[in-house]
Amino acid sequence: MAITMFPKITLFIATFVFHSTIKQPSLVFGSDPDPLQDYCLPSPHTHLCKNSSSVTVDDFVFSGIKHPGNFTNKFSGVPVSSTVFPALNTLGMSLVRADFQVGGINAPHYHPRATEVAYVLEGKLYSGFVDTGNKVFAKVIEKGEVMVFPRGVLHFQMNVGDSPATVLGSFDSQNPGSVKLPIALFGSDIDSELLEKAFGLKSKEISKLKKRFGIKKEE
């Protein structure tokens, strides 16, 4: 991983120099670092790039999103990040396949490290996000349309059609991360008293929510 440190340091210095010499408001740098080689398939033990003599075309092909994943509550998400598709390592992008049965939702969540462009392959979805001023941008989008969800911003989708829906999301990070609000809040070990105070709910109600979302982190 040491190999990927350089761009970060350069970026940091560049950002510092830039901000100290030019007055330009709200210009922010932030993305995966640029690659220093054509590709970098991490070797299992050292995590350094594999010698290209042991890399094959199959390393660059991933077949795991031909079909929907396993459904939970009418929703299935199959991330294609560098974790499952190592060829993406150092390349700064990844995908997710999301499938919705009729009425299924992708609960409010955000990706801390990436902007997402979501392309509707099939179906009709109420789709949107809420900005940091609590303004909601949401509407029904359908097959062939895309919607963008800015990095780190809370977003959601619901199949409002009468047939299954499929979305392909693309990210400008090899590892966007995903924080699902219901699970992060009620499926984690945050102290119940704090949650009671935060939501103005009784202990019993928090216990119920904890029971419902008590699935541990997915990614």
Ligand X SMILES: *[C@@H]1O[C@H](CO)[C@@H](O)[C@H](O)[C@H]1NC(C)=O
Is 45 labeled as ligand-binding? no
Q: What angle do CA 93, 67, 163 make, to 5 degrees?
A: 105
Q: Is 116 labeled as ligand-binding?
A: yes
**Residues pairing with 98 in the sheet:** 77, 167
CA angle 20, 26, 32 (to 5 degrees): 85
Q: Tell me: is residue 111 an annotated ligand-binding position.
A: yes
Give the shortest CB-70-to-ligand X separation in angstroms: 4
d(CA 55, CA 60) in angstroms, rounded, equals 9
- How far apart (Å, rounded) are the C-alpha atoms in residues 79 and 88? 12
- Least Å distance, CB 54 to ligand X, is 7
Whichever of 100 and 129 has its CB closer to ligand X, that residue is 100
User: What is the chain's length?
Assistant: 219
We find the least distance from the C-beta atom of residue 67 to ligand X, in angstroms, to be 8
DSSP summary character for residue 17: H
Q: 80 or 158: whose CB is closer to ligand X?
A: 80
Indicate the residue among 70 and 134 with the shorter CB distance to ligand X.
Answer: 70
> Tokens in use for 164?
């299954």
Closest CB to ligand X among residues 50, 143: 50
Q: List interacting residues with ligand X (CB under 6 A).
A: 51, 53, 69-70, 78
Q: Smallest distance, Å, CB 188 to ligand X?
A: 22
Cβ–Cβ < 8 Å for 171, 150: no
Q: Cite the annotated binding site by residue number.
A: 106, 109, 111, 116, 155
Q: Cite the annotated binding site for Mn(2+) by residue number.
A: 109, 111, 116, 155
Q: Cite the annotated binding site for oxalate by residue number.
A: 106, 111, 116
